[in-house]
Amino acid sequence: MSRRIVIFDTTLRDGEQSPGASLSEDQKLAIAHQLAALGVDIIEAGFPISSPEDFRAVTRVAQEVHGPVIAGLSRTRKEDIQSCYDAVKHAERHRIHTFVGTSNIHIEKKLRKTKDQVFEMAVEAVRFARSLCDDVEFSAEDALRADFDYLCRVVEAVIAAGATTVNIPDTVGYTTPWEMERTIAQLFELVPNIDRAVISTHCHNDLGLASANSLAAVRGGAGQVECTINGIGERAGNCSLEEVVMTLRTRQDYFDIETGINTPQIMKASRMVSNFTGHSVQPNKAIVGANAFAHEAGIHQHGMIMDRQTYEIMKPEDIGLTESVLTLGRRSGRHGLRQRLTDLGYDLTDAQLDEAYKRFVTIADRKKEVYDEDLELLMRDMIGAQAGMWSLQRFQVTSGSVEAEGGAVTIPVAAVELKRGEKPMTYASTGNGPVHAIYTAIDHIVKGKKLRLVDYQLRSVSVGEDAIGEAIVRISDGEIETWGKAASTDVLEASAKAYINAINRLMVLHQRAKNGAAEHM
Ligand code: MN
Give residue-wise pLDDT tens across range 462-513. Answer: 666 667 788 889 999 998 888 888 888 889 999 999 999 889 888 877 876 7
CA angle 483, 485, 487 (to 5 degrees): 170
DSSP code, position 109: I
**How far does residue 31's CA lie from ligand 1's centre (Å)?**
19
**How far does residue 236's CA lie from ligand 1's centre (Å)?**
11
The pLDDT score that the predictor gives to residue 521 is 39
**How far does residue 217's CA lie from ligand 1's centre (Å)?**
16
Q: Which residue type sits at 46?
A: G
Burial (CB count within 10 angstroms: exposed 0-12, middle 13-18, buried 19+), residue 409? exposed
Residue 301 pLDDT grade (very low, low, confident, very high; cuts 50, 70, 90): low
Burial (CB count within 10 angstroms: exposed 0-12, middle 13-18, buried 19+), residue 312? middle
**How far does residue 235's CA lie from ligand 1's centre (Å)?**
9
Residue 383 pLDDT grade (very low, low, confident, very high; cuts 50, 70, 90): low
Q: Between 490 and 89, whose confidence is greater?
A: 89
Is 90 exceeded by the pLDDT of residue 131? yes
**How far does residue 72's CA lie from ligand 1's centre (Å)?**
13
Phi-psi category of residue 250: left, alpha or beta, with phi > 0 → left and psi -120 to 50 → alpha: alpha
Query: Cα separation of 471 and 467, whole Å?
Result: 13
SS3 category, 312:
coil
Query: For residue 473, what are the CA distances in angstroms to 14, 494, 519?
Result: 23, 10, 27
**How far does residue 8's CA lie from ligand 1's centre (Å)?**
12
The pLDDT score that the predictor gives to residue 484 is 84
The pLDDT score that the predictor gives to residue 149 is 97
Q: Where are the alpha helices (DSSP H) in 344-456?
A: 350-366, 372-384, 434-446
Across the chain, mean pLDDT equals 89
Query: Who's near 163: CB < 8 A, 6+ residues apart?
Result: 126, 130, 136, 137, 138, 197
**How far does residue 260's CA lie from ligand 1's centre (Å)?**
23
Q: Using DSSP bridges, classify how beta strands 413-419 and 424-430 pair: parallel, antiparallel or unpaired.
A: antiparallel
Residues above pLDDT 70, as percent of the chain = 90
**How far does residue 172's CA lie from ligand 1's centre (Å)?**
8
**How far does residue 202's CA lie from ligand 1's centre (Å)?**
7
Average confidence (pLDDT) over 10-33: 89
The pLDDT score that the predictor gives to residue 173 is 97
**How far does residue 257's CA lie from ligand 1's centre (Å)?**
24
Query: Cα separation of 495 and 22, whole Å?
Result: 21
**How far does residue 504's CA lie from ligand 1's centre (Å)?**
28
The pLDDT score that the predictor gives to residue 519 is 39
The pLDDT score that the predictor gives to residue 308 is 75
**How far does residue 460's CA lie from ligand 1's centre (Å)?**
33
**How far does residue 143's CA lie from ligand 1's centre (Å)?**
12
- Do residues 364 and 330 lie in contact, with contact meaning Cβ atoms separated by under 8 Å? yes
Name which of 41-50, 141-150, 217-226, 481-490 the model is least confident about: 481-490
**How far does residue 446's CA lie from ligand 1's centre (Å)?**
37
Burial (CB count within 10 angstroms: exposed 0-12, middle 13-18, buried 19+), residue 480? middle
**How far does residue 121's CA lie from ligand 1's centre (Å)?**
20
Is 70 exceeded by the pLDDT of residue 520? no
- Do residues 290 and 246 lie in contact, with contact meaning Cβ atoms separated by under 8 Å? no
Q: Which CATH number fits domain 391-519: 3.40.50.300, 3.40.630.30, 3.30.160.270, 1.10.287.3510?
A: 3.30.160.270
- Do residues 417 and 397 lie in contact, with contact meaning Cβ atoms separated by under 8 Å? no
The pLDDT score that the predictor gives to residue 408 is 65
**How far does residue 452's CA lie from ligand 1's centre (Å)?**
30
Average confidence (pLDDT) over 412-416: 95
What are the domain boundaries of the chain?
Answer: 3-277, 325-384, 391-519
Q: Which residue type sits at 208?
A: G
Is 50 exceeded by the pLDDT of residue 517? no
Q: Which residue type sits at 157?
A: A
**How far does residue 178's CA lie from ligand 1's centre (Å)?**
21
What class is the 3-277 domain?
alpha beta
Q: List phi, psi (to 5°) of 82.
A: -60, -45
- Do residues 1 and 243 lie in contact, with contact meaning Cβ atoms separated by under 8 Å? no
Taking the CB of residue 334, how many other CB atoms lie within 10 A of it? 13
**How far does residue 427's CA lie from ligand 1's centre (Å)?**
45
Q: List phi, psi (to 5°) of 476.
A: -140, 140
**How far does residue 261's CA lie from ligand 1's centre (Å)?**
22
Q: What would the pLDDT profile of 184-206 be if each residue is shown by its tens digit?
A: 999 999 999 999 999 999 999 99
Q: List phi, psi (to 5°) of 145.
A: -110, 10
Query: Cα separation of 301 and 479, whole Å?
Result: 50
**How far does residue 204's CA lie from ligand 1's centre (Å)?**
6
- Which of the given ranges, 16-25, 262-271, 314-323, has the highest pLDDT on average? 262-271
**How far does residue 78's CA lie from ligand 1's centre (Å)?**
21
**How far does residue 371's CA lie from ligand 1's centre (Å)?**
36
**How far does residue 409's CA lie from ligand 1's centre (Å)?**
53
**How far does residue 226's CA lie from ligand 1's centre (Å)?**
9
**How far does residue 234's CA lie from ligand 1's centre (Å)?**
7
**How far does residue 91's CA lie from ligand 1's centre (Å)?**
23
Q: What would the pLDDT profile of 330-356 be if each residue is shown by its tens digit?
A: 677 788 888 778 766 677 788 888 989
**How far does residue 148's CA lie from ligand 1's centre (Å)?**
20
**How far does residue 14's CA lie from ligand 1's centre (Å)?**
5
**How far does residue 464's CA lie from ligand 1's centre (Å)?**
40
Ion ligand 1: residues, CB < 5 A: 14
Is 80 exceeded by the pLDDT of residue 211? yes
Quick one: how many helices (H) and strands (E) in the chain? 17, 16
Predicted structure pTM score: 0.74
Q: Is the C-alpha dihedral spanning 385, 389, 395, 399 positive or negative? A: negative
Is 80 exceeded by the pLDDT of residue 451? yes
Is 50 exceeded by the pLDDT of residue 518? no
Q: What is the largest CA-CA distance in the chain?
A: 85
